[in-house]
């Protein structure tokens, strides 16, 4: 009998050690399985060292609930870039994405987005991420040490946010930031942006790219946006209100 109790206790300890907090996760929590985490830099500049993360229970957040339904396998349906191959999500990567979503304003978590996909390498490497209506694609390079994952995700969510705006809201953004329709030399009509005042050069290509760059900067580098494109800064501030900012987590 003594041996039996000793054996049972041993088995219980082993199970707990092997499965971490599975047994102990309370309602309102979820299990983060043990994984190796590479070193990275948080959006606020904090350096996070490489380590082996043990399984633990984490409090459920809206960001987690939002993302768990959306992490998808394979390639998005009708994805136009056929040479881009699917990759698998790791626990490390999904945790990093959840961490980023937790710091972003909830208004960016669009219900229209149905899938966050993981592909290997962009056809336009080193492009770290892409989007189309309802879909976000994350490539390997998003997780490079030199990349700011928060800004990457904020930028892609901003593309969707623009698509989700009403027709009048889109018009109002274009009005405020100097986008106008023009007849050009090839007899076609194009949206042409203001002459200067772009936080990133590629904002000149389309108002949607401009919008995404500006929203990303409003959240992560507001001083630059205020200095370079004050009209966009004011529009975003008025449109989203004071709560539209990064939520710095206490860790």
Partner 1 sequence: MKFKGILMTLFLSACVTNTTGSNRGSLNYDKVRSLVVGYSTESDVLAVLGLPTGRTEEAGYYILNYDDSKTGFQRLSINFLLGSQKLSGILWIPREDEKEYSLMQAKAGFKNADFKEIINRSTNPHAISPDEVSYIDEKHGVTIRYDRSQNIVEAIAMYDVNVRLPAATEKKNQIPYTFGDEPAISK
Q: Which two tokens stand for residue 191?
A: 């949206």
Count the residues of the shown chain that bind partner 1, applying the rule CB under 8 A: 55
What is the nearest approach in angstroms of partner 1 to the Cβ of residue 169? 11
What is the nearest approach in angstroms of partner 1 to the Cβ of residue 132? 4
According to the binding rule CB under 8 A, does residue 209 interact with partner 1? yes
196 burial type by CB count under 10 A (0-12 exposed, 13-18 middle, 19+ buried): exposed
According to the binding rule CB under 8 A, does residue 175 interact with partner 1? yes
Site string for partner 1, 154-173 (x = CB under 8 A): -xx--x-------xx--xx-
Nearer to partner 1, 5 or 181 (CB): 181
Return the ∠ at Cα 163 (arms to 166 and 212), rounded to 5°. Answer: 115
Q: Which of 90, 206, 231, 245 binds partner 1 (CB under 8 A)?
A: 206
CB 141 within 8 A of CB 122: yes
Site string for partner 1, 63-92 (x = CB under 8 A): -----------------x------------
Query: In angstroms, rounded to a whole number, what is the distance separating the alpha carbons of residues 62 and 64?
Result: 5
Return the ∠ at Cα 107 (arms to 37 and 200), rounded to 5°. Answer: 75
- Alpha helices, DSSP H, located in the chain: 2-19, 62-68, 91-103, 149-164, 167-176, 207-220, 222-228, 230-240
Q: Which two tokens stand for residue 230?
A: 């004050």
What is the nearest approach in angstroms of partner 1 to the Cβ of residue 188? 5
According to the binding rule CB under 8 A, does residue 214 interact with partner 1? no
Site string for partner 1, 35-64 (x = CB under 8 A): -----xx--xx-x-----------------
* Start-to-end C-alpha separation, the chain: 46
Residues at the contact surface with partner 1, assessed by CB under 8 A: 40-41, 44-45, 47, 80, 122-124, 126-133, 145-148, 151-152, 155-156, 159, 167-168, 171-172, 175, 180-185, 187-190, 192, 195, 200-202, 204-206, 208-209, 212, 216, 220-221
């Amino acid at each position: 009998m003594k041996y039996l109790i000793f054996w049972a206790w041993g088995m219980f300890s082993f199970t707990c050690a092997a499965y971490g907090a599975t047994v102990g996760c309370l309602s309102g929590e979820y299990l983060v399985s043990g994984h190796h985490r590479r070193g990275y830099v948080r959006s606020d500049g904090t350096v996070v060292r490489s380590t082996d993360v043990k399984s633990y229970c984490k409090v459920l957040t809206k960001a987690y609930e939002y993302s768990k339904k959306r992490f998808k396998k394979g390639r998005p349906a009708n994805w136009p870039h056929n040479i881009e191959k699917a990759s698998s999500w790791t626990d490390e990567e999904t945790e990093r994405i959840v961490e980023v979503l937790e710091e972003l304003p909830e208004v960016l978590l669009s219900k229209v987005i149905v899938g966050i996909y993981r592909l290997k390498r962009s056809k336009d490497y080193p492009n770290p991420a892409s989007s189309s209506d309802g879909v976000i694609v994350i490539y390997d390079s998003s997780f490079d040490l030199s990349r700011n994952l928060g800004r990457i995700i904020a930028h892609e969510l901003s593309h969707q946010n623009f698509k989700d705006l009403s027709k009048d809201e889109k018009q109002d953004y274009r009005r405020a930031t100097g986008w106008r329709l023009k007849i050009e030399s090839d007899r076609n009509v194009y949206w042409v942006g203001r002459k200067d005042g772009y936080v990133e050069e590629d904002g000149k290509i389309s108002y949607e790219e401009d919008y995404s760059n500006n929203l990303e900067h409003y959240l992560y580098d507001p001083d630059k946006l205020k200095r370079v494109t004050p009209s966009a800064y004011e529009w975003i501030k008025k449109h989203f209100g004071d709560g539209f900012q990064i939520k710095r987590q206490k860790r």
